[in-house]
């Protein structure tokens, strides 16, 4: 066990954990967030995606000891109903989800991609989201939402 101070969504959290414990469990059980989610523990699906210093990472395979002073932003830190991120607005407008368990992977990956890539083509969006899983098959909705958000972030 070791002590860590995590910067999550702009707040500092002191936790005691095994250095090799993945960040996911710190976020869910120590910080107490309802997101991200455990999908595979193998970095294959995206359900656990968060931003570390602005870049999407898979928190299910990132040891808490590797986070250091890095700034962690989860999907709940992306925006609020009062001040939503364009992707959150677009998700609601396009009625994207079915079960919604996959949502962190798509939104957090797309958020970093749209921040760095203005006016992307459909093909670029698809490539950016390659590998992320949705089992309910809401891909058409997801694409519409990401395109809507892209136009909002223009």
Partner 1 sequence: MTKMEKPANFSRRSFLTTGGALVVSIGMPISAETLLSINTAFAQATATRPPLVPNQLSSYVAINADGSVSAFFGKMDMGQGLYVSIGQMVAEELDVPFERVTVYMADTRTSVNQGGASGSTGIQSGGKQMRAASAEARRVLVEMGAQKLNLPADQLTVADGVVQAKSDPAKRATYAELIGGRHFNVELEWNNKIGNALYAPGKATPKSHKDYKIVGKPIKRADIAPKAFCTAPFVTDIKRPGMVHARMVRPPVAGATIESVDEASIKNIPGARVVRENNFLAVVADKEWDAIKALRQLKVQWSNSKPPFIDQAALYEYIRKAPVRKREDSKPVGNVEEAFKSAARVIEAEYEWPFQSHSCMGPACAVVEIADNGHVTCWSGTQKPHFLRDGVARTLGVKPETVDCIWVVGPGSYGRSDADDCGNDCAVIAKAVGKPVRLQYMRNDGTGWDPKAPASIHRARAAIDAKGQVIAYQFLSKGFSRVDVNTNGSQPRDTLAGHFRGVELRSGDNFGVPAESYAFANKHTAWETIPPLLDRASPLRSSHLRDPVGPQIHFASESFMDEIAHALGVDPLELRLRHVKNPRHAAVLQAAAKKAGWESRPSPRKGQSGNTASGRGIAYAARNGTVVAIVSEIEVDRSTGKIWARKFTVAHDCGQVINPDGLVHTVEGNIIQALSRTIWEEVKFDTGNVTSIDWLTYPILDMTEVPEVIDVVILDRPDQPPTGAGEGSTRPVTAAIANAIFDATGVRLRRAPFTPDRLRAAMS
Q: Which residues bind partner 1 (CB under 8 A)?
A: 17-18, 21-22, 25, 28-29, 32-35, 37-42, 44-45, 47, 74-76, 79-81, 84, 88, 91-92, 95-103, 107, 126-127, 129-143
Contact between 153 and 118 (Cβ < 8 Å): yes
Place of tokens 């959290």: 13
Nearest CB to partner 1, comparing residues 19 and 54:
19
71-73 and 2-8 beta bridge pairing: parallel
Nearest CB to partner 1, comparing residues 26 and 57:
26
Q: Going by C-beta distance under 8 Å and a sequence separation of 6 or more, which residues neighbour residue 151?
A: none
- CB of 56 vs partner 1, minimal distance in Å: 15
Residue 65 CA, distance from chain mean position: 19
Q: Would you tell me the crossing angle of helices 139-153 and 103-116 to the nearest 10 degrees? A: 30
- CB of 91 vs partner 1, minimal distance in Å: 4
- CB of 54 vs partner 1, minimal distance in Å: 19
Nearest CB to partner 1, comparing residues 22 and 52:
22
Longest Cα separation, the chain: 47
Nearest CB to partner 1, comparing residues 101 and 152:
101
- CB of 35 vs partner 1, minimal distance in Å: 4
Which DSSP symbol is given to 78?
A: T
């Amino acid at each position: 066990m070791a002590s860590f101070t995590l910067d999550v969504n702009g707040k500092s959290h002191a936790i005691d954990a095994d250095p090799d414990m993945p960040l996911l469990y710190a976020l869910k059980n120590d910080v107490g967030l309802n997101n991200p989610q455990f999908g595979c523990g193998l970095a294959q699906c995206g359900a656990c995606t968060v931003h570390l210093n602005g870049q999407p990472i898979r928190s299910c395979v990132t040891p808490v000891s590797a986070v250091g002073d890095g700034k962690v932003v989860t999907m709940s830190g992306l925006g609020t109903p009062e001040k939503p991120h364009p992707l959150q607005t677009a998700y609601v407008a396009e009625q994207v989800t079915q079960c919604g368990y996959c949502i962190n992977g798509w939104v957090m990956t797309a958020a970093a991609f749209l921040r760095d890539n203005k006016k992307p083509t459909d093909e670029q969006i698809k490539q950016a989201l390659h590998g992320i899983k949705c089992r309910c098959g809401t891909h058409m909705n997801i694409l519409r939402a990401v395109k809507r958000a892209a136009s909002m972030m223009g």
